Amino acid sequence: MARTDTRFRQSHNAMLDMLSTLPLGAGLPSEVQLAAQLGVSRTVIRAVVQKLGADGILQGSGREKRLTRLPKPKDRLSLREDYIGRDELEARFLDWVLRFDVPAGTALNITQLARQFTVPPHALQEFLASLGQSGLIERRARGGWRLLGFTADYAVELSEFRQVLELNAIRAFTALPKEHAAWTALSKIRAEHLELLDRIDRDFHDFSRLDGRFHSLINSVVSNRFVAEFQKVISLIFHYHYQWDKTMERYRNEAAIREHLTIIAALQDRDTLSAEARARGHLATSKETLLSSMRGHHLA
Amino acid sequence: MARTDTRFRQSHNAMLDMLSTLPLGAGLPSEVQLAAQLGVSRTVIRAVVQKLGADGILQGSGREKRLTRLPKPKDRLSLREDYIGRDELEARFLDWVLRFDVPAGTALNITQLARQFTVPPHALQEFLASLGQSGLIERRARGGWRLLGFTADYAVELSEFRQVLELNAIRAFTALPKEHAAWTALSKIRAEHLELLDRIDRDFHDFSRLDGRFHSLINSVVSNRFVAEFQKVISLIFHYHYQWDKTMERYRNEAAIREHLTIIAALQDRDTLSAEARARGHLATSKETLLSSMRGHHLA
DNA sequence: CATTGTGTCTTTAATGATAAAAACCACTGG
DNA sequence: CCAGTGGTTTTTATCATTAAAGACACAATG
């Protein structure tokens, strides 16, 4: 077979919903308008309109198409809820790799994985290719893929790379002019840190998200697409790691918040050297936590 | 249809070559040996052997297969020279993007490009996906790809990113222990610089390659897969850029060699600050050259 | 009886055919 | 001349098909 007609089915049902709000005998909007409204091409609209005509819901041709009967629930087309999107796939895949210790060097089976993640094999193939640069995956010489795995080596190198980027961002931050919007954002996120510190006993889980936002604020002052791209990978990995290392979570998070605050203070003092040193320290503990949580995870 | 039988055809011909060296009536090596020798699976070997049997070149079965007649030129299978490899594709694609000013935002047509580069559409798809992280290409919402293009913005950000990585490498370099192999390599490449300087009038074209090797030596002391990955992209882009900017090439290259030498000297003195400053300067001129060459290219 | 080799069968991924969707163009009624 | 529609061409996502790889069991040979 060929392409799925998911788009047609969805549009068909959306059109039924739209028609239900119209009075009997009302004229139909133009195809271009409908297409814009549903966010699909005219071709799909035309296919839908034709089907509605055949089902006796619409009548007439050309510009004279009118609603002849209200659609019934029965007219709806069933659409099998399949295929997940790219982001969902990314999340599930990383979850699979990071949560279950898939051993390094495992040969990946396209067909099987595609079934497992309910995506067409083709989509998985493309996804794996796009992951190529992240160093988690390798193309084998004569077909197939190999998972290089989320090893300790990988974590160390990732952390080091993160440090290089982030220290650079710190240096850039202190050089910003006073009126730059980042300073306001920094004050704001400082307040959020203090506020979370107040209710840390209860809401320490909220830190993961705050951490992500803090680091992405720091890096946002370096407007560079390569940095941004890597930042995505890094925050993804660290985000997942937060999800499975539960030991000492409350205390770890509180300590991290305090480290963040010292970095923020140094930045606000425009003390480049101090900020750099603080950030270095923070990133080092972060790396240690990542590594120790990996060890714990392997023993489990 | 399905997979091409290129591997079968190649193996068939290779086998003919091999048989030509044997005397008539000689016994055949085992399938496993043959497979190892030709670097293919046993399945292919078996298919080939069966065909050779049908063509009367081999006779017998099981372990008793013997050469009954020498292969003639006519026995060779023709193989259409198609499909280029991945590296070749990468080279051709970048060449196409960088050499002809493909305007930013162009929608890429898979089928057409696949024909143009003589690869199966599928392979192109995968290639484009793998380029996703490099920021040259974007997936459009509902199918298709868009070329973001090698714009001035892109070049600036690439250069800045390169600078971040390379300054970090410089700092790491000066911290290396005396007996590290990189010092020997540095002395060696210094000699090569001096040697090229002697014959610069004639061989200034050789600089492009030397430049690549110099920068990759600097970066090699940071053993980090992410750095290495990006280094590949960077050197690719700079390599191509060298190919089309011919203005002042001789003088540019001579100046660059001298800059390299000052960096090397500072490194050998273990003078971190000086080395960093020199490298900063060199990378700045490199960036300027890249930008100016792009401007010149656009006007052409 | 261990080792090496072959025959058979299963699994897997690359490819072309194909259908869905998008884009294009020409025509028509107002 | 413009908004809208009908017809047609392009183009991409999906699927069936087939080459190739690999696994397993049995046979032969020393």
| A227/B161 Cβ within 8 A | yes
Average pLDDT, chain A: 87
Chain D bases near protein CB atoms (7 A cut-off) = 3-8, 10-23, 28-29
Chain A, 129 to 148: residues with Cβ < 8 Å from chain B are 129-130, 132-135
d(CA B57, CA B52): 5
A238 touches strand C (CB under 7 A): no
Per-residue pLDDT of A4-18, as tens digits, reads: 898 999 999 999 999
Closest-CA residue of chain A to B156? A224
> How far is the C-alpha of B252 from the C-alpha of B243, rounded, in Å?
13
Q: Give me the pLDDT at residue A221, please.
A: 92
Contacts of A230 in chain B (CB under 8 A): 226
Beta strand B66-67 with B107-108 is unpaired
**Binary contact (A224, B125; C-beta < 8 A):** no
Between chains, do B133 and A135 touch, taking CB under 8 Å as contact?
Answer: no
Nearest CA to A170 out of A121, A220, A130, A125 is that of: A220
List C-alpha distances in Å: A22 to A11, A15, B57, B140. 17, 11, 79, 34
CB contact under 8 A, B161 and A229: no
Residue A29 main-chain phi, psi, to 5 deg: -65, 170
Separation in Å: C23 C1' and B285 CA: 46
CB A235 within 8 A of CB A212: yes
CA-nearest of B22, B24, B48 to B34 is: B48
For residue A82, what pLDDT is reported?
66
**B135 with A165: Cβ contact below 8 A:** no
User: Nearest CA to CA, how far is A86 from chain B (Å)?
Assistant: 11
Phi-psi region of A149 (alpha: psi -120 to 50; beta: other; left: phi over 0): left
A158 contacts on B by Cβ (under 8 Å): 226
Mean pLDDT (whole number) for A197-223: 89
B150 vs B237: CA distance, rounded Å: 10
A138 CA to D22 C1', in Å?
Answer: 20
Measured from Cα to the C1' atom, the residue closest to D5 is A62
The verdict on a CB contact (< 8 Å) between B158 and A226 is yes
pLDDT at B300: 46
Residue B39: φ, ψ to 5°: 70, 30
Weakest-pLDDT range from A160-174, A272-286, B151-165: B151-165
Q: Cβ separation of A230 and B226 shorter than 8 Å? A: yes
Q: Note the pLDDT of residue A300.
A: 46
In this predicted structure, the answer to whether residue A142 has a pLDDT above a threshold of 70 is yes
**B139/A90 Cα distance (integer angstroms):** 15
Which chain A residues touch B225 with a CB distance below 8 Å? 135, 154, 157
Q: B2-11 pLDDT, tens per residue?
A: 788 989 999 9
Q: Where do the H-state alpha helices sit in B175-271?
A: 181-198, 200-203, 207-220, 225-244, 249-268
**Position of tokens 């970048």?**
B94
Domains of chain B (ranges, CATH numbers): 6-75 (1.10.10.10), 86-147 (1.10.10.10), 152-299 (1.20.120.530)
B130 → closest Cβ in A132, A223, A230? A132
Chain B nearest-CA residue for A124: B126
Taking residues A104-118, report their average pLDDT.
88
Chain centre to alpha carbon of residue B232: 9
Per-residue pLDDT at B167: 94
pLDDT of residue B244: 67
What is the strand order of the sheet A107-108 is part of? A107-108, A145-147, A137-139
Which residues in chain A have Cβ-Cβ distances shorter than 8 Å to B135?
Answer: 225-226, 229
Does the pLDDT value for residue A297 go beyond 70?
A: no
Q: Pick from A161, A223, A229: which is nearest to B133 by CB? A: A229
Residue B161 with chain A: CB contacts under 8 Å: 224, 226-227
Chain A window 124-153: residues with CB closer than 7 Å to nucleic chain C are 125, 143-145
Of B49, B43, B52, B51, which Cα lies nearest the Cα of B62? B49
On the CB side of B160, CA atoms within 13 Å amount to 16
Question: pLDDT digit string (tens) for A241-255?
Answer: 776 667 777 888 899
The residue with greater pLDDT, A292 or B115, is B115
Across the interface, whether the CB atoms of A126 and B127 are under 8 A apart is answered no
Ranges A54-68, A147-161, A231-245, B145-159, most confident: A54-68
Q: Where are the alpha helices (DSSP H) in chain A?
A: 6-20, 31-38, 42-54, 86-99, 110-116, 121-131, 152-174, 181-198, 200-203, 207-220, 225-244, 249-268, 272-299
- What is the least distance, in Å, from the CA of B40 to any CA of chain A? 10
Q: Give the span between the Cα atoms of B184 and A39, in whole angstroms.
A: 63
Q: Alpha-carbon distance B147 to B170, whole Å?
A: 34
Question: Residue A146: which H helix or E strand, with range?
Answer: strand A145-147
